[in-house]
């Protein structure tokens, strides 16, 4: 939804930079970026100018290898620069995930006004995934998107309280429950609430 020409223009106009995901709503540009990286990855550096960075993560029975590719001097990019304000770089992130001996592979494509290295852009996108993940948890566990309170600073105050609560619930590992169920348990089980808060008793 955010990958629109007018949004990119507004971002650049405000003096900021963007890195926007390509999906079906930009099918032609997505297809060209996908084809470019297909050739770049298949044939290596033979006449194709791109940069590559690899990240490996392991934990909780999950093994992920992410390869981040960026390019600034692709032949077709000049035409799109006329329509996408500040467009400088195209990005491909290839994720290979192995969990319980099952391996899956996925590629995501992006356009960016940044001219950073593949490592820096990869970290930026990874950070955004973390923000999206947190928002999803807050919506599922706290129904954040359904809350309509708007008076004064109540929206900001409740948002801060929910994030503090989420941090406490995430750190509590004694029960194998999802965040929503941990929250429910803390509401009716005083002993568990004390455990979540890390205190022995209420004074």
pLDDT in tens, 82-97: 888 888 888 888 889 8
Statement to judge: residues 56 and 106 lie in one domain? yes
Query: Which has more pLDDT, 139 or 107?
Result: 107
Q: Is residue 76 in a domain?
A: yes
Of the listed ranges 29-43, 127-141, 154-168, 176-190, the least confidently predicted one is: 127-141
Domain that holds residue 181: 147-197
For residues 26 and 114, membership in a common domain is answered with: yes
Both structure tokens of 174: 């004694």
Token couple for 75: 């032949």
* pLDDT over 70 (residue 131): no
Is there a domain that residue 31 lies in?
yes
Residue 135 is assigned to a structural domain of this protein: no
Helix (H/G/I), strand (E/B), else coil: 60: coil
41-79 burial by CB neighbour count: b if 16+ within 10 A, else e?
beeeeeebebebbeeeeeeeeeeebbbbbbbeebeebee
Compute the Cα dihedral for 18, 116, 91, 27 and give only its sign. Answer: positive
User: Do 191 and 111 sit in the same domain of this protein?
Assistant: no
- Quote the pLDDT of residue 132: 45
Q: Are residues 92 and 151 in the same domain?
A: no
- E-strand spans in the chain? 19-21, 51-59, 62-71, 89-99, 102-112
Residues 73 and 171 occupy one common structural domain: no
What's this model's pTM, rounded to 2 decimal places? Answer: 0.58
User: Do 162 and 110 share a structural domain?
Assistant: no
Asked if residue 107 and residue 17 are part of one domain, the reply reads: yes
Does 52 map to a domain? yes
What spatial distance separates the first Cα and last Cα of the chain, rounded to whole Å?
49
Mean of pLDDT over the chain: 77
d(CA 125, CA 130): 9
The count of structural domains within the chain is 2
Q: What is the pLDDT of residue 53?
A: 80
**Are 78 and 157 in the same domain?**
no
């Amino acid at each position: 939804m955010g990958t629109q020409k007018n949004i990119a223009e507004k971002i650049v106009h405000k003096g900021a930079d963007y890195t926007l995901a390509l999906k079906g709503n930009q099918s032609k540009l997505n297809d060209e970026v996908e084809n470019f990286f297909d050739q770049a990855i298949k044939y290596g550096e033979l006449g194709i100018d791109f940069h590559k960075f690899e990240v490996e993560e392991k934990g909780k029975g999950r093994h992920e290898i992410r390869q981040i590719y960026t390019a600034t001097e692709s032949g077709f990019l000049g035409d799109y620069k006329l329509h996408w304000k500040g467009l400088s770089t195209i990005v491909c992130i290839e994720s290979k995930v192995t969990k319980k001996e099952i391996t899956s592979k996925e590629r995501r494509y992006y356009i960016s006004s940044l001219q950073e290295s593949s490592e820096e852009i990869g970290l930026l996108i990874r950070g955004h995934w973390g923000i999206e993940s947190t928002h999803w948890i807050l919506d599922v566990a706290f129904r954040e998107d359904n809350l309509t309170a708007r008076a004064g600073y109540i929206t900001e105050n409740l948002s801060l309280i929910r994030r503090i609560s989420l941090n406490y619930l995430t750190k509590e590992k004694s029960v194998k429950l999802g965040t929503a169920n941990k929250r429910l348990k803390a509401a009716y089980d005083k002993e568990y609430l004390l455990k979540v808060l890390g205190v022995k008793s209420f004074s």
